[in-house]
Amino acid sequence: EPPDPPEDFSCQTQDMKRVTCTWRQGETYLYGQNSPQYTLSETSSQKTVLCKESCSKQCSCSWDIGQQWIWNVTLTVENALGKKTATHVFDVNHRIYPTAPFQFWEDCTDTEITLHWNYKNNGIELFCQTEVLQPDGKVELHNSSVADSRRVTVRGLRPDTEYTARVRCGAARHFWRWSDWSHPLTTRTKEGTPSGKLDIWRDITPVLGGRNVTLFWKQTPTFQANGRIISYEVTWKKVEDGSKPESISISSVYNSTRIFIDNHSYRISIMAKNSVNFSLPSVLIISRATDNSRSIFSTEELKEGQVNGTDDGIFISWEPRSIYDSYIIDWCNFPRFQPCDLQWKRFGPNTSSAVISSASFVPGVRYKFRIYGSVANRASLLEKKIGYLRELPPRLDPIVRNVGLTYNSVTLSWDSYLTNESQPGFVRGYHVYVSPMQGNCSLKGSKKHILPDDSELCKYTIENPEEKRYTVEHLAPNTKYKIVVKAFTGGGETPIVNFRHVDTPYNSNLLYLIFLLVIVPALVAAICHWKMKWVKECCCPVIPSPSKSKVLSFKEFKIGSEKVLKINDCIPDVLAMDSNAEAQKL
């Protein structure tokens, strides 16, 4: 193809002695001796050829400007298929592209940096711009207020902080382009006095003759060390009298210490120290032991309320009191170890709930929280809470010691079950599972429970964790049952694996009834059969005995003490005469 006009054609100078023009060529798909040829000449005199080039992609051409400031140049590009031209008119004074500054150095204090540099101005009046990279990645630009100034002061910086700076310059009168950036310079401000206060807390343990006070401190977001902390200064003195204060210096590698105080009220302050000065003191007041009995000695009087875990932490709420200017919650990250890594968090006076989170919280561990109200740096214990990030099932089942059996019930008794912090959840109660060895369970008062293998159990729920006895009723006599007792928490219960097997006895009442209805009549019948003649004579004689006749039991048939049957009152069916000895006697 024939060539296109040159692209991005421009000219500039760095030293007011030579001009350099640059351009970019288009694609012609011709190579070798047919490649495009570029000719740069003055437009007013095409015979004055400034330069002739054969280049690819990015091209340039330079020449001495002498005393000529205004230039009108023509760039001609030509190949075997044609040619194209481009013209450019410019004033050298308006095309100044300075060289990059060099010899970059600095002076600094704790909040300011003064940057210095040099550059080759070649008689050109320049002004410069400084770029400062902040520690958080933000970039600030600072312009020189005076032309040809070779320094700039950057203020409002943080003490003992690393900054990176670089500088570039441009023509002050006829600005066209910035120079390249100088090499970057990294510097650190000097240390300054620590700003803000430490966040401090305490843990008090009564001992003989006084109290051991463990002091803790940490840096808050508003605290700025402004240097390397060398030590922490701890000072304490009695509030009531003007006794001389005591103090100790703690290495910066520690964030706690223990001191002993008597039963008086004490004022304790802690300051951070760097190579320049101390921070402002953080103060707390320890009340007299008698006044602080509720906070120290009688904490067991406060009932521990249960709190629940969430996806973000453990949710805690408390009853606000208007007399306090802040609230503090403390807890141990590792309650099963000593030291337990005591932590605390402060809240404003209008806060009555919070979600406590920690990377150390794990499921199945009971955490204890103490809620304090603070006024004038004096804290008082208000409430105690216990909770889990997430409850887990109990590790062990209750140990069933006694099993009492009747023909239709079984009574289970188990040992006292631990409900303290050793459990991975709050024990809410027990489940009793019963099922016959054969067939499904359908006992009255129970709920169905399906195991993973689709077998069916009867389930009874005991919602009192202090209960240690339960009776399962409505069982069938002479039947084999499997039974198990499981403790459950808010995290559920462990899988059912081991059963206890029991056999209900026969129903003794039924046996007694069978004895009365079957055995006794059969025995009587056997005796009657054996003494049939005697029974017949006694109960159904051929000739009844008059003395035994009920007919003769009425008064009118009695004469004296004997029973007499009057013949005239009886009409016989048959009259027979006996001639035996008995008849003669009669």
Phi-psi domain of 34 (left: phi exceeds 0; alpha: psi -120 through 50; beta: other): alpha
Q: Is the pLDDT of residue 410 over 60?
A: yes
DSSP character string of 178-215? --PPPPPEEEEPPP---BS--EEEEEEEEETTEEEEEE
d(CA 459, CA 434): 7
Q: Among 271, 205, 202, which Cα is nearest to 235's?
A: 271
Q: Is the torsion defined by CA of 367, 368, 371, 376 positive or negative? A: negative
Q: What is the pLDDT of residues 134-146, one digit of tens each?
A: 998 999 999 887 7
d(CA 405, CA 423): 32
pLDDT class of 351 with cuts at 50, 70, 90: very high
Q: Among 493, 485, 371, which Cα is nearest to 426's?
A: 493
Within a 13 Å sphere around the CA of 272, how many CA atoms are in the beta-carbon half? 28
Q: Is the pLDDT of residue 267 over 80?
A: yes
pTM: 0.69
Residue 524 φ/ψ, nearest 5 degrees: -60, -45
Mean pLDDT of 538-552: 60
Which structural domains are found in the chain, ordered by start? 7-94 (2.60.40.10), 102-189 (2.60.40.10), 198-286 (2.60.40.10), 305-388 (2.60.40.10), 400-504 (2.60.40.10)
Within a 13 Å sphere around the CA of 92, how many CA atoms are in the beta-carbon half? 19
d(CA 471, CA 404): 9
d(CA 519, CA 359): 78
User: What is the reported pLDDT for 556?
Assistant: 55
Mean pLDDT of 97-103: 88
Q: Please report where in the chains the tokens 């706690």 appear, as a residue.
A: 256
Residues facing 366 on adjacent strands: 388
Q: How many CB atoms lie within 10 A of CB 377?
A: 16
Geometric angle at alpha carbon 220, from 218 and 223, rounded to 5°: 105
Residue 326 φ/ψ, nearest 5 degrees: -165, 165
Q: Among 288, 284, 455, 453, which Cα is nearest to 375's?
A: 284
CA 102 to chain centre: 54
Highest mean pLDDT among 30-34, 43-47, 293-297, 563-567: 30-34
d(CA 17, CA 120): 13
Residue environment code for 411-430, b if the CB has 16+ CB neighbours within 10 A, otherwise e: ebebeebebeeebbbbbbeb
DSSP character string of 421-450? TTSSS-EEEEEEEEEESSS----TT-EEEE
Residue 458 φ/ψ, nearest 5 degrees: -95, 135
Widest Cα–Cα separation across the chain: 198
**Listing from the earlier edge strand, what are the strands of the sheet with 456-462?**
447-450, 456-462, 427-436, 480-489, 500-503
pLDDT class of 450 with cuts at 50, 70, 90: confident
pLDDT class of 578 with cuts at 50, 70, 90: low
Arithmetic mean of pLDDT over the chain: 86
Contact 295, 375 (CB under 8 A): no
Q: How many CB atoms lie within 10 A of CB 375?
A: 14
Could you report how far apart the first and last alpha carbons of the chain are, in Å?
A: 173
pLDDT class of 293 with cuts at 50, 70, 90: very low
Tokens representing 538? 């006694």
User: What is the reported pLDDT for 577?
Assistant: 67
User: What is the reported pLDDT for 297?
Assistant: 39
Contact 502, 483 (CB under 8 A): yes
Mean pLDDT of 78-86: 86
Q: Is the pLDDT of residue 333 over 60?
A: yes
Q: Please report where in the chains the tokens 């304790």 appear, as a residue.
A: 268
Q: At what angle do helices 520-530 and 532-539 cross, to 10 degrees?
A: 90
Better pLDDT: 84 or 198: 198
Residue environment code for 2-27, b if the CB has 16+ CB neighbours within 10 A, otherwise e: ebeebeebebbbbbbeebebebebee
d(CA 428, CA 446): 19
User: What is the reported pLDDT for 295?
Assistant: 42
Q: Is the pLDDT of residue 184 over 90?
A: yes
